[in-house]
Amino acid sequence: MRVVVVGYGMVGSRLVEELVARCPDADVTVLGAEPHQPYNRVLLGELVAGRVDEDSLALPAADGRVAVRRGVAAVAIDRAARTVTCDDGAVVPYDALVLATGARARVPELPGLHPSPLGVHPLRTLADARSVADAVTTSVRAVVLGGGVLGLEVACALTERGMDAAVVHAGPHLMDRQLDAAASEALEHGLRRLGIAVRTGRPPAAVLARGGRVSGLRFPDGDELPTDLLVLATGTVPEVGLAAAAGLAVGRGIVVDGDGATSDPHVYAVGDCAQPAEGSSGLVAQGWEQARRLAEVLARGAAAVPRPRTVDAGAATDVVRLKAHGLEVVTMGLTGAATTAGKHRSVRLSDPSTGRHVEVVVAGGAVVGATCVGAGPVAADLTAAYTRRTPVPADPAHLLLRPVRGAGPEPEPSVTLMPDRATVCRCNGVTKGELVRAWGDGARTPADVARATRATTGCGGCTDAVCGLLDWLAGGEGDRVPAGVGALAEAAG
Amino acid sequence: MSGSPPTSTAADATATLSTVTAPTAVRGSSVDTHCPYCALQCAMTLTPATDVAAPPVTVAGRPFPTSRGGLCQKGWTSAEVLRAPDRLTSPLLRGADGKQHPVTWDQALDHVADRVRALQDAHGRDAVAVFGGGGLTNEKAYLLGKFARVVLRTPFIDYNGRFCMASAAAGANRALGVDRGLPFPLSDVGGAQAVLLLGSNLAETMPPATAHLAAARAAGGLVVVDPRHTATAALTDGGQGVHLQPVPGTDLVVLLALLHVLWAEGLVDAGYLEQRVTGADEVRRNVALWWPERAEQVCGVPAVDLRRTARLLAAAAPVHGGRGLVVLTGRGVEQSTQGTATVTAAINLALALGLPGRPSSGYGAVTGQGNGQGGREHGQKADQLPGYRRIDDPAARAHVAAVWGVDPDELPGPGVPAVELLRRCGRPGGPRALLVHGSNLLVSAPDADRVRERLQALDLLVVCDVVPSETALLADVVLPVTQWAEEEGTTTSLEGRVLRRRRALEAPDGVRSELEVLHQLAARLGVPDGFPTDPAQVFDELARASAGGVADYSGLSHARLDADADALHWPCPAGPQGTPAHPGTPRLFSDGFPTADGRARMVAVDHHGPADDLRADAPVYLVTGRVLQHYQSGAQTHRVPALEAAQPEPYVELHPLLAHRIGVDDGDLVEVSSARGTALLTAHVTPRTRPEVVFVPFHWSGQGSANRLTVDATDPVSGMPEFKVCAVDVRPAPVRDGVAPVGAVPAGAR
C-alpha cells in the first residue's frame, strides 16, 4: 500500500508513526513544505516566554522506513491518476492520500494590516515564534489581538518576558468560545493580577503605524492604544487550497466523514485542515485522535479486515487547557452558554474577585462538562473524572473543592493528646495505651519501652513520640495509669 | 511459599497429620542470621528459648548497615512460624478417594519419579515444568534451575519473581547492562538530598528501610509517587517532601513530564549525556510530546506540581551542586503492562540528571522477596543460566554445560514467562506436570480462578512447602521441606549483598531440605551425581557456574562469608591464586556501564494505559498491595497470632465520596467485582486514596482474594503481569440469609 502524507506537522507526523506501527510494510512518503523537522507547535508560547529552547520542540524522527521529503510542497493532486505533483517536479503515486496541511493564521480585515507594518506578527509557525521572541528584545509595550486561548498564553508569555502587555478582544468577553460571562470575569481578575490590561467588546477600527512600524491601535471612538508589538491571535484558516483545486468537497475545511475520508474515498484529511461533522476544535488532541483512527482505517484496508461493528468511542479530546504561568483555565465538554440549556445539572462556585470560578455539569451520573478558572488541583481532578467518565459523587458539589489540609488525611496529633487506641509505633503496631501500660509496669527509658513493647525498634520514626510520651508521663500524669497487667504479654505476643 | 492458614477445606488433609513435635535448638548459643521475609533481610540473632511456652528461638535485632538493628513486627514475631500448628511433617499423596494421605518419603519420591518418567515418555520432555520462587536460597534456586535443564531437560522453568522483579530487571539490563536491584549500598540513600520513590510503600513493606530517608526528608526532598496517601507518602507531610498522586496506571506519564521539564528548562547534565549515554536525542524528542499540561490531563497530577517536582529533583543532582538524588521504583509502577517502559523512563530520568555512578545518587529497584535478587540470578528464569547469563548465548551455554558436565547442545533453550507457563498448563501441547517450589501460585498469581483451573487440569502437581498452602492443598504430591531457621544457605539482599542464612534449630522429624528432594529425584530419574545436599558444596558449584557472568560469585564461599561479618556485594570474582581476595563491589558504574560500548542506553518509551481500563460497568480502578503485618500470600504470617490480631481480615480501602455514593459505611461488607471474579471485603473508608481508586491487599485467599480480580495481561518485554491496575465495580455486598460472609481466617490461627 502506497500512502502519501501531505503536511509534516504534529498531526501528520503522528499519523505516520501510528500507521507504521500498525502496518510495517506500508510504503509511506511524507511531503513537508517547511524545511525543518516537525516541531511541537503547542509549545510555541513557551518558546516566546523563554521557558524552553527550540531543541525542546523537536518531535520524534520518523521511522527509517518512511520517505520524508522536507522542504517539498505538494502543488497538485491528480485524483484520476492518483498522483501528487510536487514543487520540485516529482510526481508521487498513491493508493491512499492523506492531507494534513493544517491551518494558517487568520489576519483580520483591519485598515492598516494589509500590508502589515513591521512589528505585527501572527503566532502560528516556528518562524512566527522566533520573530515574536526577537521583538521582545526591542519592544516595551505589546498588544495581543484576540482573547482566546492562544492570545492569553502569548500575553502571559510576553509579560513573563518583562513586557507591558494588553489583550484586545472583539468578542463580548475573554475566551467566549469556552466561557460564560461569570467565568470570564474571574479570568479577567486573574489577568489583571498579572498586570495584563484587558479590553473586550469592541473591535479596533485600525492598526496605526509610524515610519513603517506599528505604533498602536485605534478604536471606533477615537481612543488609541499605543504599542511597539502587535501579535495577532485571531483564529486560523484551514489550508484547503490543494483540496479545493482537486475538486474535493470543501467547506470551511476539507469535509470528512468519521473515518477521515473526503469526498474521494482514496483521499483523507486529518487535523486542522479537516472539517468533521462534529466541527474542528483546533486542539492537537482532536487531530491526534483523528490520526489514530485513520491509521486504523488504513491498516484495516491494507489487511482487508472487515470494519468492526461498534465504533471506537475514543478518548475525550475537547479538554482546553491554558498554558500560562500564574493563570489556570481548564474547560471540557459542555461549558459556557451550553450549560444553561436546562437539560443538565450544573453546579458552580463563582468567586470572581479572587479569580476563581468552578462549574461542573453532570448528566447520567457523569461529568459531561466543566469550567475551571483559578481552581488549582480541582482542575486536574475534574479532568480525570471527565476523560475517564467516572461516576460523580452523590452530591456533585464535592467536585468543586478539594478538602483543605487537615480536613483530609489527619496530621499526626501530639502523642499526649492522641487516644489510647492510636498507634504510635507503626512498625510494631504498638498503641499509646500499650506504651502507657508499659510505663505503669516500670518502663522508664526508651530502651525499657523497646524491651517491653518493641516500639521504636523498626524504622525508629516514632522515637521522638515515645520520648515525648515518657516525659509527659514522668511529669506526673502517669500516676493515674493502672498497672498494666498483660501489657507486656500482649506486646511480646 | 505462602497462603492462608488451614481453612476448613484444609482440615481433611491436615487432620491426619500427627501433632508437631516441639522444635529443638541445635546449638546452645546464639546464631546470627537474617529475617525470613522481605529483601531488606534485616539482621537478627536467634537464641534458643528456655521457656517451653515460647517459640523455640528468641529473636533480637542485630546491628547491620541496612536494618541498623531494627525489625518490623513480622521480624520480631518470625519465630512463631517455626511452631506453626499445621506444619507439614510427612509427604502427602492424593489417593483414589481424592484426599491427601501421609506416605513415606520413598513412596512419595518414587511416585513423582514414576509419573514424571511416564509423562515425559508419553508426551515428551516438555511435558514437565518447574515453578520456583524468590524466597528460595541461592543454593536452592541454582539447583532447581540445574534440575530442570539437566535432569528433566525441559525449557519450562520460571518462578514467582516474574510477578515481582521482571520489569525492573528487563529495564535495568537493557539500559545499564546489569540488573542489581540497588547498584549501591542502601546506606547511600541516606546521603541523598532527594529521593524519588515511585510505586513503593516502604513504610509498610520494609519499615526499617525508611530510616535511610531521614536526610532527604529533612531537606524537603522526599518525593513519593503513589495513587494513595500511604504511610510512605505521609512521610512527605509537613514540608518533608512532595506526594504526587497520579491516576493508577499513569506513573509513566509523570516520569515523561518530569523529563520534559528537565530538558525544556535546561536542567539535564549535558556533559554526562555526551560522555556516558547513548539514545538521549531520541528520548528528548519523545518527551517533547509530554508537556506538563498534557500530562496533567492523563495522569491527574497538576502541571504546576510536575514542574515544581522536576526542579526539586534537579536541584539535588550533583551537576547542580546538590548532595545527590536517588530514583527508586517498586512494584507499584512495575506490575503493569508498561512496567518495563516505566522503569526505563525512571532510568532515563536518572541518566538525564547524571546520577548513576555518582555519590549518593543513582537508580535502583526496591526488590521485594527475601531472595528476590539472588532468585533472579542463578537460573530459575525461563531465559537464563547461572551468573545472570542468557540461555540463548552460546558462550554462556558452553561455560555452564562444562561446569555441569553435560554437552551444551543437550541444554534446552528458553522457556516462557510465568503467566504464559500457567496458561499452558494442562492444555494440549502444554505441560502435564508442574513441580512447585517456594511459591503459592493459587494466591499470588493473577486471575486466581483461572490459575486454579489450569492447576486442576494437570496430570501431576507436586508442591514442596512448609505448611499446607492453598497450592499444596491442590497438589497430587506434597513434600514437606525445611524453612529459614532450620537450614544453611545464602540469600542476596536488595543491594546485591550476599548474606548467610544459618541454622538455629533442627527441623521437625519427617521434614527434608529441598536440596535433598532434588538429589533424590535426580537419582531416581537417572542422574545420581551433581546434586549435592550440602549447601556449602552447592554454593561452591554455583560460584564456579557464575564465574565470568554478570552476577559473578566465584570469589565467594560460605567460609568467606562467615569470616566477613558485613558480607560482600557481587560481582566478586575469584582472582588468580596468591592474589588478595576481591573485595566485592558495593557500587557499580563509577567507571562505566557493563554494556558493549561502556555507555548507558536511553530508550524512548511511550504511554498506552492499562489493559483493563475503566468502562461503564467497571468505573473504579483497583490497586493491590501489601500491609505491614503480612507477607505475600501469608503462608507464614497468617500463622503468627500477633500479626493476625493486628490485620485479621481482607479489606478494601475506598474514598469517602465513593463510599457515600454507593451507600457503604466503614466496616460494611463490600463486593468488588471485575470481568474475572468477585471478592467480598470489609470496607475501610479513608480519604487517603483517590475517589476513583480502591485498594485491596493481596495476602488472602478465598472470598477475600485480591487476585481473583486482577488481570493476567503482561508486559510485552518482561512478561510481568499487571497486578497494580484493573477496572472493577464496587457495591454493598448482598445479604445472604442474614449471614455475613467471612474472610479466610481460621479460628485456630488467632
Inter-chain touch B604–A60, beta carbons under 8 Å: yes
Of residues B68, B291, B300, nearest to A384 (C-beta)? B300
Check whether residue A264 and residue A344 sit in a common domain: no
CB contact under 8 A, B288 and A461: no
In a domain, A306, yes or no: no
Identify whether residues A338 and A378 lie together within a single domain: yes
* CB-CB under 8 Å, A454 with B263: no
**Contact residues, chain A, for B70 at CB < 8 Å:** 427, 457-460
pLDDT tens across A254-278, in order? 999 988 999 999 999 999 999 999 8
Q: For A449, phi and psi rounded to 5 degrees? A: -65, -40
Contact residues, B window 76-105, toward A, CB-based 8 Å cutoff = 76-77
Has residue A264 been placed in a domain?
yes
A427 neighbourhood in chain B, CB within 8 Å: 70-73, 207-208, 628
The three cell numbers locating residue B620: 473504579
Q: Are residues A199 and A265 in the same domain?
A: no
Within-domain flag for A305: no
Cross-chain CB nearest to B629 (options A381, A394, A429): A429
| A57, A376, A459: residue with CB nearest B288 | A57
The pLDDT assigned to B28 comes to 62
Residue with cell 460472609: B741
Long-range own/partner contacts, residues B732-738 (CB < 8 A, 24 or more apart): B732/B662, B732/B663, B732/B664, B732/B668, B732/B669, B732/B670, B732/B671, B733/B668, B733/B669, B733/B670, B733/B671, B733/B680, B734/B671
pLDDT at residue A483 tops 80:
no
Domain residues for the domain of A181 are 120-234
pLDDT digits (tens, 9 = 90+) for B680-714: 999 999 999 999 999 999 999 999 999 999 999 99
Domain end (from A185, A213, A234) = A234
Structure confidence by residue, pLDDT tens digits, A166-201 = 999 999 999 999 999 999 999 999 999 999 999 999
* Alpha carbons A321 and A149: distance in angstroms, whole number: 8
Residues of A in contact with B291 (CB under 8 A): 40, 42-43, 46, 323
Residue A313 counted as domain residue: no
Domain count, chain A: 4
Residues A131 and A100 in one domain: no
Same domain (yes/no): A6, A100: yes
Check whether residue A14 and residue A162 sit in a common domain. Answer: no
Answer whether A377 sits within 8 Å of B688, measured CB to CB.
no
Note the pLDDT tens digit of each residue in A15-54.
Answer: 999 999 998 889 999 999 888 888 999 999 999 998 888 8
Cell of B17: 497429620
Three-class HEC string of chain A: CEEEEECCCHHHHHHHHHHHHHCCCCEEEEEECCCCCCECHHHHHHHHHCCCCHHHHECCCCCCCCEEEECCCEEEEECCCCEEEECCCCEEECCEEEECCCEEECCCCCCCCCCCCECEEECCCHHHHHHHHHHHHHCCEEEEECCCHHHHHHHHHHHHCCCEEEEEECCCCCCCCCCCHHHHHHHHHHHHHCCCEEEECCCCCEEEEECCEEEEEECCCCCEEECCEEEECCCEEECCHHHHHCCCCECCCEECCCCCECCCCCEEECHHHEECCCCCCCCHHHHHHHHHHHHHHHHHHHHCCCCCCCCCCCCCCCCEECCECCECEEEEECCHHHHHHCCCEEEEEEEHHHCEEEEEEEECCEEEEEEEECCCCHHHHHHHHHHHCCECCCCHHHHHCCCCCCCCCCCCCCCCCCCCCCEEECCCCEEHHHHHHHHHCCCCCHHHHHHHHCCCCCCCCCHHHHHHHHHHHHCCHHHHCCCCCCHHHHHHC
* Cell triple for A493: 505476643
Name the residue facing A388 among B282, B614, B629 (closest C-beta): B614
Task: Answer yes or no: do B73 and A454 touch at CB < 8 A.
Answer: yes
Which one of B42, B71, B72, B684 would you mutate to disrupt binding with A, by most A Cβ within 10 Å of its Cβ?
A: B72
**End-to-end CA separation in angstroms for chain B:** 20
CB contact under 8 A, B297 and A403: no
C-alpha B330/C-alpha B410 separation (Å) is: 38
Q: Are residues A131 and A228 in the same domain?
A: yes
Same domain (yes/no): A210, A125: yes
Contact at CB, A383 and B297, closer than 8 angstroms: yes
Among B282, B293, B661, the residue with its CB nearest the CB of A321 is: B293
Residue numbers in A near B209 (CB within 8 A): 459
Ranges of chain B with pLDDT below 70: 1-28, 565-566, 736-750
Q: Residues 707 to 736 of B: which have CB under 8 A from any A CB?
A: none
Instruction: Choose, out of B73, B74, B658, the residue to mutate when testing the contact with A (most A CBs < 10 Å).
Output: B73
| Domain annotation covers residue A292 | yes
- Interchain CB distance below 8 Å, A321 and B641: no
Domain CATH for A344: 3.30.390.30
If asked whether residues A125 and A197 sit together in one domain, one would say yes
pLDDT of A417 reads 81
Question: Residue B92 in contact with residue B100, Cβ under 8 Å?
Answer: yes
Q: Is the domain of A225 the same as that of A242? A: no
Q: What percent of chain A has pLDDT over 70?
A: 90
Residue ending a domain, among A357, A373, A404, is A404
Residue B72, φ and ψ in degrees, nearest 5: -90, 180
Q: How far apart (Å, rounded) are the C-alpha atoms in residues B607 and B389?
A: 30
Q: Which residue has the cell 490590561?
A: A197
User: In terms of domains, do A421 and A384 share one?
Assistant: no
> Residue A43: closest CA among chain B residues belongs to which residue?
B291
Domain boundary among A209, A234, A259: A234
Residue A66 falls within a domain, yes or no? Answer: yes
What is the CB neighbour count within 10 angstroms for residue B189? Answer: 26
pLDDT tens per residue, range A75-96: 999 999 999 999 999 999 999 9
Nearest to A391 among B210, B294, B661 (CB): B661
pLDDT value for A56: 87
B257 and B306 Cβ atoms separated by less than 8 Å? yes
Three cell numbers at B449?
A: 480462578
Which helix or strand (DSSP H or E) is residue B205 part of? Answer: helix B202-205
> Looking at CA atoms only, how far is residue B21 from chain A in angstroms?
21
Q: Residue B208 is nearest to which of A52, A61, A459, comparing CB atoms?
A: A459
Q: Residues with Cβ < 8 Å from A88, sequence gap 6 or more?
A: A72
Residue window 609-628, chain B: list those with CB within 8 Å of chain A: 613-614, 616, 619-620, 628
Residue A134 lies in a domain: yes
C-alpha closest to that of B406 among B130, B148, B593: B148
Please give the pLDDT value at position A337: 76
The CATH code of the domain that includes A213 is: 3.50.50.60
Looking at residue A38, its pLDDT comes to 87
Between B68, B260, B296, which is nearest A383 by CB?
A: B296
Q: What integer pLDDT is reported at residue B20 of this predicted model?
A: 41
DSSP symbol at B513: -
* pLDDT value of position B584: 94
Q: How far is B53 from chain A (nearest CA, A)?
A: 11
Q: B750 CB near a chain A CB, below 8 Å?
A: no
- pLDDT surpasses 50 at A311: no
* Any domain includes A21: yes
Decide if B302 and A376 are in contact by the 8 Å CB cutoff.
Answer: yes
Torsion sign, CA atoms B133, B136, B142, B146: negative
Contact call for residues B398 and B404 (beta carbons, < 8 A): no
pLDDT digits (tens, 9 = 90+) for A410-460: 555 677 788 888 889 989 989 999 999 999 999 999 999 998 999 998 888
Q: How many angstroms away from the CA of B204 is the closest CA of chain A? A: 8
- Cα B79 from Cα A251, distance rounded (Å): 79
Q: Are residues A143 and A227 in the same domain?
A: yes
- ipTM associated with this complex: 0.88
Q: Does A55 score more than 90 pLDDT?
A: no
Q: For residue B427, how many other CB atoms are within 10 A of its CB? A: 11
Of A59, A384, A409, the CB nearest to B288: A59
Q: What is the pLDDT of residue B743?
A: 43
Chosen for mutation from B293, B299, B689 (greatest number of chain A CBs closer than 10 Å) is B293
pLDDT at A305: 52
* Cα B650 from chain centre: 21
DSSP conformational letter for B149? I
